Structure 1
């Protein structure tokens, strides 16, 4: 059982410690930094794009956020005399805190209905940072199974808490890994965004899921059907367990793309049972280690944990799942989103999903990275 301990930072932001395996650490250290109190008046704005129906967050204050600091000034390492970080204690297992430079929030509430050209609103929502480990170097894939399980419990805890905030319509945990993806901190960490609207990609997936659900009179779900077919085919399957399957999707957008989907229909992290969380920790580490063993250097990726929107119409059909993608198409080559992908959203993949799945099945999933076979997926 993961123990959560809640406290506050010097400016009033929430900080929550999650301790491994039921052990309770001393989290009594106080943040002594001379920070100005956080104000909801500093919440940015949302502007409505009438051409696409998208909301765009305007967050000019984020230009001053921390950018690739040296290791001895990392804001996610435990506090020392020379580095008063975001985490005041001298040690921790997993820590979650409100982002000091949020894209959304800190104010929460409902945005207006029936937007049109020129509509803008406050950027209601919440942005949190999840520090996976006190160690400055490493990656999620290098965590122990116990620590990965603690992070999953933290994601579940925060999903439940953030879903209950006024006006929140979507909770999205994610990790950007590697400078090629655009990370601004080297310390292993992820983020959670709680949106006051359903983001565009989630809205598209939710609509497709609902259409399929209605067509089958609520007896079958889209992702459930996909997992069953991938399992039956097997040619794109990377790993299978009792509760989850990991596979390269039939129409993968990116050179490296793996989905992890539960066999049971659940909307989010919070709905997973203890046994499901146990297996997910093992399978997620397995997949990440395979990615890192493909080449001689770590693989950049985006881990996007898709959870069902909180909208009462869309939620029954939406199934929780991971979409793990990397632009890496060879040891020294990245796929850049250019005209067709970036401007039109029409993806072109130079690698077949079947080839990618075969390569991932073949590569080692062990740590530390031994003499793993280095291969190309191009």
Structure 2
């Protein structure tokens, strides 16, 4: 797959990823906009009660909110819509204009490791620059849709882009964890209807991963292997391929929750093989399409790639996709109220086994529709 690197008018990087059979020219128009200066790097503050770092990114208040299709900032630029992407494309990745974590242009990047030292030390009034990088991954020039609505070829290109960017971002000074994800639906809080995802590169290991490290240290290094073996033989299994298995987890927090695990150990998407990426494009898309057959309207979700830290626990923490949705009925959402939001103590509304049964039915429906469409194509 072809890859083209360029620079936007304010200095941000943009990378084009072309489909395997793309007909697009290798030449891409330059960004001729006159943009305001990039915002200052956000600041992190330490919560001494939990040890969590909180990024205070004021520039995010100015980001675009649900614009009309003719002013879509992820559509290819036109004279009437000077968007973030100057030319036509298959998949495009670029630095976020208002990032939660970004480069500190006032200092040399090689100083990042030193400036982010001692992040695990608890003290009062601690601040650090929110160093890292936030990127937008535009799945398509179409102004509506999601990963599940992509063609198989385009889904494969997106996966290639995520793997490529995981490798590149993991090598940046000061980056400790790389997190690709997709938010879908206004109930999740999306601000653009355009099919897209994001990649956050954190200067620390995230709280969820810190808890996971504790679990591995308590259980042993075979935790992911044993979970996979148990679920492959259980009633919550949804799909099993040559390289990946999808299942509803034993202790699901959300009304809809699907985990996708590779059959061999790998720390992140960059470590996947061509064959694993090929199967992933099919299975990932199939699961997301099935979610929209549960009810009469599209189901909101978060699709989150949990990857190992860049510098440790690479042999213990296995790559995992977690897809979650707050939708607990056709017209009901699960809100994080007192117990979950205040204490982190979750209460499930639906049994994981019931969710697995419903999802298997939705997967069968999706398969029948896909087969019928292929027969009439």
Which position in structure 2 is the counterpart of 1:60?
A: 58
Q: Which of 89, 93, 96 in structure 2 is aligned with 1:92?
A: 89
Check whether the contact 1:3–1:24 (CA below 8 A) recurs between aligned residues: no
Which position in structure 1 is the counterpart of 2:178?
A: 171
Tell me by how many angstroms 1:369 deviates: 8.4
Q: How does 1:197-212 map to 2 (within 5 A)?
A: 197-212=204-219
Tell me by how many angstroms 1:23 deviates: 3.7
In 2 relative to 1, CA 51–143 (structure 1 residues): closer, same or farther, beyond 3 Å?
Answer: same
Check whether the contact 1:29–1:88 (CA below 8 A) recurs between aligned residues: yes
Which position in structure 2 is the counterpart of 1:217?
A: none
Tell me by how many angstroms 1:222 deviates: 1.0
- Give me the whole-angstrom Cα distance separating, in 1, the residues matched to 2:369 and 2:90: 21
Tell me by how many angstroms 1:370 deviates: 11
- Give me the whole-angstrom Cα distance separating, in 1, the residues matched to 2:19 and 2:48: 47
Q: How does 1:207-218 map to 2 (within 5 A)?
A: 207-213=214-220
TM-score under structure 1 normalisation?
A: 0.92
Is the partner of 1:253 in helix, strand or coil? coil
- Give me the whole-angstrom Cα distance separating, in 1, the residues matched to 2:48 and 2:219: 28
Check whether the contact 1:210–1:317 (CA below 8 A) recurs between aligned residues: no
- Give me the whole-angstrom Cα distance separating, in 1, the residues matched to 2:178 and 2:32: 31
Tell me, yes or no, if structure 1 residue 242 matches structure 2 residue 249: no
Tell me, yes or no, if structure 1 residue 106 matches structure 2 residue 103: yes
Tell me, yes or no, if structure 1 residue 133 matches structure 2 residue 140: yes
In 2 relative to 1, CA 140–368 (structure 1 residues): closer, same or farther, beyond 3 Å?
Answer: farther
Which position in structure 2 is the counterpart of 1:146?
A: 153
In 2 relative to 1, CA 366–187 (structure 1 residues): closer, same or farther, beyond 3 Å?
Answer: farther
What is the aligned length? 359
In 2 relative to 1, CA 368–11 (structure 1 residues): closer, same or farther, beyond 3 Å?
Answer: farther
Q: How does 1:268-307 map to 2 (within 5 A)?
A: 268-307=268-307
Greater CA deviation, 120-129 or 220-229?
220-229
Tell me, yes or no, if structure 1 residue 8 matches structure 2 residue 14: no
CA shift digits 1:115-138 (9 cap, x unpaired)? 411110101010000000110012
Tell me by how many angstroms 1:36 deviates: 3.5
Tell me how large the CA RMSD over aligned residues is. Answer: 1.7
- Runs (4+) off by over 6 Å: 367-371
TM-score under structure 2 normalisation?
A: 0.92
Greater CA deviation, 201-210 or 5-14?
201-210
- Give me the whole-angstrom Cα distance separating, in 1, the residues matched to 2:23 and 2:204: 37
